Chain A
Amino acid sequence: MKTWRNLKDLIRRFAGSDVFFSFKRSPTVVAAFLLTLIFLVAAVFAPWIVPHNTYDVASLNLMDARLPPAWIEGGRATYLLGTDEQGRDVFSTIILGSRVSLLVGFASVILALTLGVALGLIAGYVGGVTDTVIMRVADVKLSFPAILIVLLIDGVARGVMPRDLHDKAAVYVIVLAIGFSAWIQYARTVRGLTLVEKNKEYVQAARVIGLHPILIMFRHVLPNVTGPVLVIATLGLGIAVLTESTLSFLGVGVPPTEPSLGTLIRIGNNFLFSGEWWMAIFPGIFLVLLVLSVNLLGDWLRDALNPKLR
């Protein structure tokens, strides 16, 4: 009973807060939020939502392959957005695929963000040899294309693990690989911002009272460098989803039996010129809407969390 009252109190406080006010004021943000919410809910509850379980190979019927969307002549009501060349329902594969894509996207962004922000803060705040070592490693890393690093990590994982284990662990390997190749952007941004912030007098005031450097970094500097990081993270989510799809296309991503959004676009791409546009266009639209709404949310969040712009 008490926790319920606390929760109600919390909701009331949130409804009266400045952040919620700025949220209500912008219809674009509300739309982006709702869209993201729908995508997330769809991804999380995909197995209960989709009309056809496309992971179940036995239920597929090759006779139903390459059917157009339901409203076009030749389409069937049960296959709302048509089917692909294996007879899989496009709508169902999109929902199930977005699950894989979002999982890889979020997990790798969180990994890259944690790693990059921590290393950037340390490099910028501590300086000296620590800074040189971290940033030279980042420079070396930056001289390889990200996709090459991902291929390298994935290749090593393949070599080390037995095949069936790798199939199971493929998603985690990709998350690790994308995370490790994307941290540099965060680290460089955070380091630059930290160098500016650490010479400001509020940081020196904290040093005068003898606060531990770690506390200064995370309590004082970190809140003042999060703005651009948030924007990079939202853009990074899109990039991570695309990197994952590139990998899947190259055959080193997630297993083709459980395709991600990127895989669907790539497969559909092969049929674009033969007139079966729905295989590529619908996953494409879905991906665009997903990335766009997340980016809009990130942009708004950056402004809403900045007390100077309230």
Chain B
Amino acid sequence: MAESPRPLVKVSGLARYFDVSAPWLNRVLDGQPRLILRAVDGLDFEISKGETLALVGESGCGKSTVARLVVGLYRPSTGSIVFDGVDMAGLGGRAEMAPIRRRLQMIFQDPYASLNPRWRVSAIVSEPIRAFRLIEGESKIVERVGQLLRQVGLSPVDGEKYPHEFSGGQRQRISIARALSSQPEFLVCDEPTSALDVSVQAQILNLMKDLQRQLGLTYLFISHNLAVVRHIADRVGVMYLGRLAEIGPKTTLFTLPRHPYTRMLLDTIPDLDMTGCKRTPVAGEVPNPINPPSGCAFHPRCPFANDRCKTERPEPKANETGSITACHAVEEGRPPAGPLPAAAA
């Protein structure tokens, strides 16, 4: 990673716990303890300007929670999110938040739910402009909306239509136009292509890449699709049960994965060269985050786990390859270099 003097976004010790226990009365009557779901449990990463960091992981590993934390939809339980030198948790009122909010925007997963069905597209796209009072005067706003729609590959005439008149890909373009309308520097994309057809996915990803080049955008890209991540990311973080298993530059991570979980995930990518080869399937499933395994959360599925993994939580450590890995086995040089043996799960 090229060290810039100050990363645009710096997340340290970020955690978010959800109280999922039964109502107080039921809990007292049944003698149940409080149930705390640790959706995100201590996360550190930085994103430099103009870079794309992708977070990948299986369902339920806390990827989307991270996205919501970073844009301020959730408040972190502990830890800090520093955006361009300003700690977002320290900002109290709406007025204090506004300058930061203008600079970060979000693109959502489901293009069918992320646009208000009762609003015309022009109203949807211009909402951030009006909310932040970026442009005064109706005719100038209309002009800007037309410009934004053209920028994402739609026609200014489309502003008069309603969202339901568009296809999924077109709606995602509208979503992007809305996100761009406040001229943000940082976009959080929560699985923006997972609801789209494969052919449309590529179009949206290329559009996002073009926009990044033109406008110097920084992306936090949440996805479960490794092929998509490989296409768009500069750096990749692999999440497992609310923690980062491994984070590093894309090429390093895809060619020299160190963490057993990363290797397991990469083994599942279909590949033409591997046709007919025997592949290691992903064994087991993500444990329940309400009651996570002791020590390293991955140990029940890990082929290299020993007693240390069951008791001691691994801390992230930098590798010689440039990535950061949280794994006792990697640290001790336990795993062999070759293909993974079948996981004991």
Interface residues of A (CB under 8 A from B): 200-202, 204-212, 220, 223-224, 307-308
Contact = CB atoms under 8 A, between A and B. Distances in A.
Contact of A209 (B109, B110, B182): B182
A127 B157 CA distance: 40
A208 B71 CA distance: 6
Given A208-B71, A209-B101, A209-B127, A202 B113 contact: yes
A201 B108 contact: yes
B94 A205 contact: no
A307 B128 contact: no
Contact of A204 (B73, B102, B127, B131): B73
Given A201-B113, A208-B73, A224 B118 contact: yes
Contacts of A211: 127, 131
Contacts of B115: 202
A212 B71 contact: no
Contacts of B104: 208
A220 B116 CA distance: 7
B262 to A, nearest CB: 30
B162 A208 contact: no
B9 interface: no
B198 to A, nearest CB: 22
14 contacts: A201-B110, A204-B106, A205-B175, A208-B72, A208-B105, A209-B102, A209-B127, A209-B131, A210-B97, A210-B131, A220-B116, A223-B118, A224-B116, A308-B164
A307 B114 contact: no
Nearest to B108: A201
Interface residues of B, number: 31
Main secondary structure of the interface of A (DSSP, over half): helix
Contacts of A205: 106, 108, 114, 175, 178
B35 interface: no
Contacts of B119: 223
A307 B71 contact: no
A204 B115 CA distance: 10
Interface string B306-344: 000000000000000000000000000000000000000
Nearest to A222: B118
Contacts of A210: 72, 94, 97-98, 101, 131
Given A208-B101, A209-B102, A210-B72, 17 more contacts: A201-B109, A201-B113, A201-B114, A204-B68, A205-B175, A208-B72, A208-B104, A209-B127, A209-B131, A209-B182, A210-B94, A210-B98, A211-B127, A212-B94, A224-B117, A307-B118, A308-B117
